[in-house]
């Protein structure tokens, strides 16, 4: 029974990453927060490499992992944190980047012989309507002075996660996931540190709440969630995760409402549910399903 609950626990943890981002950004600027997080991630994953007897990739595997780190951690996390830091609700940020499976499917259809079936076209339509309902609904922003910038950085995050996971699937197959993740975190840290030094004050309000938030982001999300993912991949439960992963944006919206009082009206609630259905319909086809191999790419998403 407990084993069957792992995919749902994993999704709950994954969704909390956006809530953790908003909480952490109350005490540090985006690049500064991410530079600290990436540094701690590197340390934790070096420890995991030793304890689990994993290997750090070498040669082109090292290069490919570095590129994936820039695309996923750099663009995806960087874009998401900038959007939330600019006032975008955590739930909306999760919803926009949560369209990644749909965008990935569109890229595959555009560049391969794959074609959508009817249910997938329905999913695309539902996704468009769902997003529209959320945007026209009464969803409360922290600050609406930089909406255009926030949407732009969210699109950067969506592009980063889409092409980062495609790149990882193409070039990192067979690479040790733990070792590759450590290199990816290091690559992102190399990106965030100069940005923080150049454009931010790098001031951090080291309160107990910030320390607990950082502990959650590093230990629970970057380590425990990834170990759960590795367990599921190794024990053939990856398809179960894929079947519930589309629920991340609605779960994030509920968590953000409980934590910060982020409000959304009936239009917004319906939009979140429609978008979840859209992702499910698009990715449920076997050729687009986040299966055993591609699910491993999710290790770099948060």
Rounded to whole angstroms, the Cα distance separating 300 from 103 reads 17
* pTM (two decimals): 0.84
Rounded to whole angstroms, the Cα distance separating 259 from 200 reads 27
Question: 200-236 b/e with 16+ CB inside 10 Å = b?
Answer: beeeeeeeeebeebbebbbeebbbebbebbbebbeee
Residue 184: closest CA among 198, 197, 171 = 171
- Reading the block at residue 151, the tokens are 């949407």
pLDDT on residue 193? 96
Q: Is the pLDDT of residue 265 over 60?
A: yes
3-state SS, residue 287 = helix
* pLDDT > 70: percent of the chain: 86
Across the chain, mean pLDDT equals 84
129-153 tens-digit pLDDT:
888 888 777 777 888 788 999 999 9
Decide: 86 and 153 in contact? Cβ < 8 Å.
yes
Q: Is the pLDDT of residue 1 over 70?
A: no
The DSSP H or E segment spanning 128 is helix 118-136
Count of alpha carbons within 13 angstroms of residue 102, beta-carbon side: 25
Rounded to whole angstroms, the Cα distance separating 152 from 156 reads 6
84-96 tens-digit pLDDT:
999 999 989 998 9
Q: Is the pLDDT of residue 80 over 90?
A: yes
Residue 160: closest CA among 221, 222, 78 = 78
Residue 11: closest CA among 278, 232, 188, 288 = 232
Q: Is the pLDDT of residue 28 over 80?
A: yes
pLDDT on residue 237? 53
Terminal Cα distance for the chain, rounded: 27
215-242 tens-digit pLDDT:
999 988 888 877 776 666 555 554 555 5
- Reading the block at residue 204, the tokens are 């951090």
- Residue 208 is given by DSSP the state H
pLDDT on residue 242? 56
Q: Where are the domains of the chain?
A: 13-300
Q: Is the pLDDT of residue 9 over 50?
A: yes
pLDDT on residue 27? 96
Cα–Cα distances in Å, from 273 out to 10, 146, 209, 228? 20, 27, 32, 26
Q: Is the pLDDT of residue 201 over 70?
A: yes
Token pair 């790149």 is found at 167
Q: Is the pLDDT of residue 13 over 90?
A: no
């Amino acid at each position: 029974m407990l084993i069957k609950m792992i995919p749902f626990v994993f999704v709950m943890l994954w969704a909390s990453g956006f809530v953790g981002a908003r909480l952490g950004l109350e005490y540090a600027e985006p690049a500064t927060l991410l530079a600290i997080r990436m540094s701690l991630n590197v340390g934790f994953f070096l420890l995991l490499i030793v304890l689990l007897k994993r290997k750090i990739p070498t040669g082109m595997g090292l290069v490919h992992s570095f590129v994936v780190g820039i695309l996923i951690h750099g663009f995806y996390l960087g874009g998401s944190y900038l959007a939330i830091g600019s006032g975008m609700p955590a739930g909306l940020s999760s919803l926009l980047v949560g369209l990644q499976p749909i965008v990935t499917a569109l890229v595959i259809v555009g560049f391969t012989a794959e074609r959508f079936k009817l249910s997938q076209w329905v999913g695309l339509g539902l996704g468009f309507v769902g997003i529209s309902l959320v945007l026209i609904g009464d969803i409360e922003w922290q600050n609406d002075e930089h909406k255009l910038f926030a949407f732009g950085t969210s699109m950067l995050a969506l592009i980063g996660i889409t092409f980062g996971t495609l790149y990882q699937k193409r070039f990192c197959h067979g690479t040790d996931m733990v070792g590759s993740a450590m290199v990816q975190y290091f690559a992102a840290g190399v990106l965030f540190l100069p940005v923080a030094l150049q454009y931010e004050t790098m001031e951090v309000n080291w309160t107990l709440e910030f320390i607990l938030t950082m502990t959650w982001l590093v230990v629970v999300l970057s380590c425990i969630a990834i170990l759960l993912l590795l367990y599921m991949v190794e024990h053939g439960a990856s398809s179960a995760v894929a079947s519930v992963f589309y629920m991340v944006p609605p779960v994030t919206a509920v968590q953000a409402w409980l934590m910060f009082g982020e409000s959304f009206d009936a239009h917004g609630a319906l939009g979140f549910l429609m978008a979840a259905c859209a992702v499910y319909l698009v990715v449920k086809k076997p050729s687009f399903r986040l299966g055993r191999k591609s699910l491993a790419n999710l290790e770099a998403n948060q």
